[in-house]
């Protein structure tokens, strides 16, 4: 990934809504009590370490153009050990289905299938696994749940959610 030293959050505060913040017991999908939407963090100097170290993919990757800025797209892109996560603003839950985003997400799913990487869309706690040919709506996926993919070769033909203790090695980490 190409790093961008030039980009800044500016008026964008969408991560303060879509991300869970463990240190503040803030769930994903609701505004942080310390966020002034469109303006920034009211406790910026004292903000939790997880907030200070966070950088969405638009902020750090020059390959994502201005259309992908979260305040514009309503999507916050992050990575996981298994692939890419597209965190959608619950106020615009279908933003990921609009163009140019839908085509790009599908292209990432095609690349991911070749490279054993996953692409998931997250709206609140609801998760959708995206593959080149279909979507697997997994419903609410909790922190102790894992996604297990059923594969035919590299092609995903099924997906289920299981508790971590029962998860196979082919799971998507949340």
List pLDDT tens digits, range 127-148.
Answer: 999 999 999 999 998 878 888 8
How many other C-beta atoms can be found within 10 angstroms of the C-beta atom of residue 31?
Answer: 14
User: For 109-129, what is each residue's pLDDT tens digit?
Assistant: 999 998 989 999 999 889 999
**What 3-state class would DSSP assign to 44?**
helix
174 vs 169: CA distance, rounded Å: 14
Residue 165 pLDDT level (bands cut at 50, 70, 90): low
Helix, strand, coil % over all residues of the chain, rounded to 5:
25, 30, 45
pLDDT of residue 174: 44
Question: Which element (helix H / strand E) includes 129?
Answer: strand 126-130
Q: Do residues 85 and 122 make contact, with C-beta atoms less than 8 angstroms apart?
A: yes
CA angle 62, 66, 68 (to 5 degrees): 85
């Amino acid at each position: 990934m190409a790093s961008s030293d030039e980009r800044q959050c500016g008026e964008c505060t969408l991560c303060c809504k879509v991300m869970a913040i463990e240190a503040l017991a803030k769930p994903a999908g609701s505004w942080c009590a310390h966020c002034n939407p469109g303006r920034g963090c009211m406790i910026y100097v004292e903000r939790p370490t997880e907030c200070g170290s966070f950088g969405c993919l638009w902020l750090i990757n020059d390959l994502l153009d201005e259309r992908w800025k979260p305040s514009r797209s309503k999507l916050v892109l992050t990575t996981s050990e298994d692939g890419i996560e597209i965190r959608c603003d619950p106020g615009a839950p279908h933003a990921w289905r609009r163009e140019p985003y839908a085509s790009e997400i599908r292209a990432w799913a095609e690349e991911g299938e070749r490279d054993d990487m996953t692409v998931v869309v997250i709206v609140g706690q609801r998760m959708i696994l995206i593959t080149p040919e279909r979507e697997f709506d997994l419903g609410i996926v909790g922190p102790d749940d894992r996604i297990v993919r059923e594969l035919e070769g590299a092609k995903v033909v099924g997906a289920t959610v299981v508790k971590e203790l029962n998860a196979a090695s082919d799971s998507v980490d949340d």
